[in-house]
A = this chain, B = another copy of it.
Amino acid sequence: MTATPARITAVDTFDIRFPTSRELDGSDAMNPDPDYSAAYLILRTDAADGLEGHGFTFTIGRGNDVQVAAVDALRHHVVGRPVAELCADPGSLSRDLIGDSQLRWLGPEKGVMHMAIGAVVNAVWDLAAKREGKPLWQLLAHAEPEWLVSQVDFRYIADALTPEEALHLLSEGRAGIAEREAALLERGYPGYTTSPGWLGYSDDKLTRLARQAVADGFTQIKLKVGADLDDDIRRLRTARAAVGAGIRIAIDANQRWNVNEAIDWTGALAEFDPYWIEEPTSPDDILGHATIRKAVTPVKVATGEHVQNRVVFKQLLEAGAIDVLQIDAARVGGVNENLAILLLAAKSGVPVCPHAGGVGLCELVQHLSMFDYLALSGTTENRVIEYVDHLHQHFTDPVVIRDGHYAAPLAPGFSAAMRAESIAEYRYPDGTFWVADRTGQENAA
């Protein structure tokens, strides 16, 4: 009797929503009342090891159901695949999902459908790393350069980066990798914190949290700006007074401005020495970012959390539009596309400082930065991962911050798994929190 190979048996999806809008956590100039949410999925298999792959798209509330529907629309590509083959070559699934011509029409490679692809692809990487018994950063850093190149889709970027160039970058990156891994395990990867800077917070709370951030070992904080210039001047002055001259203060407009507004507004804040201006305008406006960058230097220009795919990142680098490239683990088509983006950044020498926060974005993206350090950039200089201190308690392998650094996660996988109790409580609309919430509202009415 021949044993049949283990296969993917199910893609279970969950609409998870946290009521964060009630505390003004996460409030910024474009997103006044986000309810941090996740369109979450679990890949199940019939393998004897009982391992699962977890993945998700982060959203901020309404529309999380649309995002779940998009993951559901991918199910037929995944169920029935042999687990070992899939985990040996997640790129094959990535190509099939991106290449589904009917679903491609809904993008292509952007928005709801592309984020759903990213969630599924990331779940495969989570499963693959668990099967290897390694955290994902380590699986990637230990992988052969040739295999990593095989995981990248060069369509639409080959004019900027060829497979040969990618192989060269990864091969060069192997020198000193063992020393860097030891350093990473010892010190972690630098972080910065956005927790003090939400628009909804009072000046007192801003001061207190900014001082706390410095005390906690962070050397960079970030403030949301863009709603009101006088407020921003006061808040930036307050923050600068709280942290002193030696701490970097990034500012983040969350796409609030037109190109000319971005230039004027950033100029008006320049006296407080902001380190970078993040998302000054539409993430689609490559040429606009280039114009802004020329005008606001020496303030750096950063963007990426809403950049839809590698094609736009390619152009941002080509146009000299950004000083800092901000990958997001759950916006593009998953680990495979982020490998392409990290390679493009490495070729151009632009530092990658990931977007994080939300639900589980810190947990995911730390793996990509740690891989970048070990195998590509070779340095953590001018590189920091965003850190926001909420909702980590819902994850089984939450990030650990020590002295302003992300400690390297050691558990096998992509740190993507949410606690079963959290899913049961915050599943929308039938989780225990939401049922109790509606009951409370009905009783109050």
Interface contact A60-B156, CB-CB below 8 Å: no
Mask, A17-33, CB within 8 Å of B = 1, is: 00000000000001111
Which of A98-106, A141-149, A207-215, A236-244 is the interface stretch?
Answer: A98-106
Instruction: State A359–B337 Cα separation when bound (angstroms).
Output: 32
Select one of B65, B100, B281 contacting A156, CB under 8 A.
Answer: B281
Interface contact A59-B106, CB-CB below 8 Å: yes
Select one of B31, B60, B100, B107 contacting A62, CB under 8 A.
Answer: B100
Given contacts A155-B258, A312-B284, contact A104 B30 (CB under 8 A): yes
Q: Does A114 contact B (CB under 8 A)?
A: yes
Q: Does A66 contact B (CB under 8 A)?
A: yes
Which of A84-92, A303-311, A415-423 is the interface stretch?
Answer: A303-311
Instruction: State A34–B110 Cα separation when bound (angstroms).
Output: 20
Interface contact A309-B284, CB-CB below 8 Å: yes
Binding site secondary structure of chain A: loop
Contacts of A63 in B (CB 8 A): 70, 73, 102-103, 105-106, 113
Contacts of A171 in B (CB 8 A): none
Select one of B32, B67, B154, B258 contacting A158, CB under 8 A.
Answer: B258
- Minimum CB–CB distance from A288 to chain B (whole Å) comes to 7
Interface contact A108-B255, CB-CB below 8 Å: yes
Which residue of chain B has the shortest Cβ distance to A292 in the bound complex? B159
Name, among A33, A104, A281, the residue most crowded by chain B CB atoms within 10 Å (CB to CB): A104
Mask, A295-332, CB within 8 Å of B = 1, is: 00000000000101101101100110000000000000
Query: What are 19 of the A-B contact pairs (CB < 8 Å)?
Result: A30-B101, A31-B104, A33-B102, A59-B102, A63-B103, A63-B113, A65-B69, A67-B106, A106-B112, A106-B115, A109-B282, A110-B110, A110-B111, A110-B308, A111-B308, A112-B113, A158-B259, A285-B315, A288-B311
